[in-house]
């Protein structure tokens, strides 16, 4: 790290540079260029037009002034005064829809900080909250939040080092929203865009209205990309009822073979105003290439008759096929660079709706089972069987069966026990050497939001994989499936005595790329002792706990800004299971024989008996 001047030696400079703590709005500054390209760094443009547009609470010295973070030079830096509440802000010169902000940190990064936007430099709205920063380069996408303003600020909360905050770059991207027009114009430019499931934060619907597409219609930039499903759509809010005469679609190589252009007055009820002819569809279907050879296309769609509506969307019907390799083919999602809507009308008042908030109120119990009955209460629990309710998953070695050998109540607890008998368990999915238990509340108790907890004692040994989790109730809908359904892993253990993990899975953050944390039991605690595992699930995020100790906090705002779509706004159901081997254990223990993730020593222990997960109780509390 470069040497730093002490704070005492630069007191005079800090006083001169510091802005009032009330954050009063500065005098108006010259506006930056209005017709900026989609990839223009608006902070750098503002600084180039007026170096005084970038201000801060203070700087370490004259060589680390705030303008260095917006000068377009990645080798210069702003370094703040040594205070947790230090800040830097930029006056963009005009109100824009901010699409994303990138912070390139030097070694003195922010552990906790917020990004905020303001129209007047006085009243600020937070659009990104970092509660566990690790430095490096951070890009915070704003979709699906309404983030419009003239001023953007990074406000520190907690430094990661004894120094101040140090940024090589503070980049702001976005553009002016198209206003009402009495003459023909692209009414969609920088307007709110919507869609269903998309791949990750860098391919959200917001990119289809930012004005950008590569000339070769091939580069990976500024594009919406759906998940791998034919029934996907993307659309735009024009802000007011408009008269639309044509649409331009700038596709990446993964274009729609067949699609519909539809309009709506309320973003719910849709009217089809265009679809390709059968000949057009056949020609597009015949254009099959290897992914590396394929390019996109530009569709100019002139409507047979001008249409009226506030919302316009492209509804996919059939995806393009690619050689994978030839003669085999595969299909991916839809990928669209830009969606232009031409006509008259519109309004610059179009805005994303506010994200839902925690409604407050007191919790009360809506589901509880302490397993004190003579057997499993099947009015509360469904027994899951391999080959009937589910197929094999994750490379696991067990078949789930409905047997008291594997699922029973005993001494006031639910017991899920694994058994071994080589070649003894035929199922529609093959013959298995192991059996085990899995129960869930699907169709018995599906719910949205609440506190979910269970007191459990787990088996310890390589490849033993007990889990307590939630799964989206729409997982079996072919238009959703996993990970679009969402998955909330409250507790997973893969046989290690000193730790467990928690995780969220969804589009852009699933499997090994999940958003998760490991926790180690304090004071020498172990997984084969009784512990309470829980999650508080609200519209704003998830907080995971072990014995009431917070082990993971994930906000919706941060998840959608950096990873992908929040898919936890609908029903989930509770699952308890004991798996053997599979992808997660194998990733840690590297065992491949005799079973993937399950060594012979663990097979022997299952054969001897007694490998079981015990559950004392399960509780769900919700706010009324």
How many Cβ atoms from other residues are within 10 Å of residue 35's Cβ?
Answer: 8
Say if residue 537's pLDDT is above 80.
Answer: yes
Residue corresponding to tokens 């969220």: 504
User: Residue 280 and residue 51: Cα distance in Å, rounded?
Assistant: 53
Angle at 57 between CA 52 and CA 62, to 5 degrees: 65
The model's pLDDT over 215-249, given as tens digits with 9 standing for 90+, comes to 999 999 999 999 999 999 999 999 999 999 999 99
User: Residue 17 and residue 115: Cα distance in Å, rounded?
Assistant: 21
Dihedrals phi, psi of 310, to nearest 5 degrees:
-95, -35
Structure tokens at 263: 């309009």
Residue 592 pLDDT = 98
Say if residue 496's pLDDT is above 90.
Answer: yes
Q: Round the average pLDDT of the chain to a whole number and report it.
A: 94
**35 pLDDT tier (thresholds 50, 70, 90):** low
The model's pLDDT over 323-377, given as tens digits with 9 standing for 90+, comes to 999 999 999 999 999 999 999 999 999 999 999 999 999 999 999 999 999 999 9
* Residues 555 and 504: beta-carbon distance below 8 Å: no
Of all residues in the chain, the percent with pLDDT exceeding 90 is 94
Q: Is the pTM of this model over 0.75?
A: yes
**26 pLDDT tier (thresholds 50, 70, 90):** very low
Spatial CB neighbours of 2, under 8 Å, sequence gap ≥ 6: none
The model's pLDDT over 252-299, given as tens digits with 9 standing for 90+, comes to 999 999 999 999 999 999 999 999 999 999 999 999 999 999 999 999
Residue 14 pLDDT = 27
Which strand (E) or helix (H) includes residue 46? helix 42-49
**Exposure string over 523-532, b if 16+ CB within 10 A, otherwise e:** eebebeeebb
User: Residue 479 and residue 326: Cα distance in Å, rounded?
Assistant: 28
Say if residue 27's pLDDT is above 80.
Answer: no
Whether the ω angle into residue 256 lies within 30 degrees of 0, i.e. cis, is no
């Amino acid at each position: 790290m470069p040497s730093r001047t002490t704070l005492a030696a630069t007191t005079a400079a800090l006083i001169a540079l510091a802005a009032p703590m009330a954050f009063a709005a500065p005098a108006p500054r010259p506006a930056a260029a209005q017709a900026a390209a989609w990839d223009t760094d608006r902070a750098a443009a503002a600084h180039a037009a007026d170096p005084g547009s970038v201000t801060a609470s203070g700087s370490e010295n004259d060589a680390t002034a705030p303008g260095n973070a917006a000068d377009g030079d990645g080798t210069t830096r702003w370094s703040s005064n040594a205070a947790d509440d230090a800040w830097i802000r930029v006056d963009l010169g005009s109100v824009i829809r901010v699409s994303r902000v990138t912070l390139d940190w030097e070694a003195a990064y922010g552990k906790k900080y917020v990004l905020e936007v303001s129209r007047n430099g006085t009243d600020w709205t937070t659009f990104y909250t970092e509660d566990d920063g690790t430095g490096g380069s951070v890009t915070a996408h704003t979709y699906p939040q309404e983030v419009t303003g003239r001023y953007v600020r990074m406000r520190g909360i907690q430094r990661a080092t004894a120094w101040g905050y140090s940024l090589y770059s503070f980049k702001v991207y976005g553009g002016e929203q198209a206003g009402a027009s009495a003459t023909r114009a692209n009414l969609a430019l920088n307007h709110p865009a919507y869609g269903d499931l998309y791949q990750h934060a860098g391919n959200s619907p917001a990119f289809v209205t930012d004005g950008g597409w590569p000339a070769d219609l091939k580069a990976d930039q500024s594009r919406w990309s759906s998940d791998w499903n034919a029934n996907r759509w993307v659309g735009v809010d024009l802000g007011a009822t408009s008269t639309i005469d044509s649409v331009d679609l700038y596709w990446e190589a993964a274009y729609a073979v067949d699609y519909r252009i539809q309009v709506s007055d309320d973003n719910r009820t849709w009217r089809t105003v265009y679809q390709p002819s059968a000949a057009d569809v056949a020609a597009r279907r015949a254009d099959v290439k290897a992914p590396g050879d394929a390019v996109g296309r530009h569709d100019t769609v002139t409507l047979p008759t001008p249409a009226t509506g506030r919302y316009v969307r492209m509804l996919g019907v059939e995806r393009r096929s690619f050689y994978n390799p030839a003669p085999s083919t595969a299909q991916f999602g839809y990928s669209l660079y830009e969606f232009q809507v031409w006509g008259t009308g519109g309004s610059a008042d179009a805005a994303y709706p506010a994200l839902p908030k925690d409604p407050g109120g007191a919790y009360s119990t809506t589901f509880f089972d302490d397993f004190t009955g003579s057997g499993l209460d099947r009015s509360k629990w469904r027994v899951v069987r391999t080959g009937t309710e589910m197929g094999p998953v994750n490379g696991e070695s067990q078949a789930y069966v409905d047997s008291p050998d594997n699922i029973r109540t005993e001494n006031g607890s639910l017991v899920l026990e694994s058994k071994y008998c080589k070649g003894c368990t035929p199922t529609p999915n093959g013959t298995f050497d192991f059996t085990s238990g899995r129960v869930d509340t699907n169709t018995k108790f599906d719910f949205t939001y609440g506190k979910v907890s269970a007191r459990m004692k787990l088996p310890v040994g390589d490849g033993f994989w007990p889990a307590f989790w939630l799964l989206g109730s729409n997982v079996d809908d072919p238009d959703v499936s996993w990970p679009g359904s969402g998955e909330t892993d409250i507790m997973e253990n893969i046989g290690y005595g000193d730790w467990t993990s928690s995780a969220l899975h969804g589009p852009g953050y699933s499997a090994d790329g999940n958003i998760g944390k490991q926790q180690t039991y304090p004071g020498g605690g172990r997984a084969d002792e009784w512990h309470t595992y829980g999650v508080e699930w609200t519209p704003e995020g998830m907080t995971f706990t072990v014995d009431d100790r917070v082990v993971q906090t994930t906000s919706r705002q941060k998840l959608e800004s950096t990873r992908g779509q929040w898919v936890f706004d609908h029903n989930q159901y509770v699952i308890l299971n004991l798996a053997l081997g599979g992808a997660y254990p194998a990733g840690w223990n590297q065992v491949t024989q005799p079973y993937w993730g399950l060594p012979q020593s663990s097979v022997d222990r299952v054969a001897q008996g007694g490998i079981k997960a015990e559950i004392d109780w399960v509780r769900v509390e919700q706010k009324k």
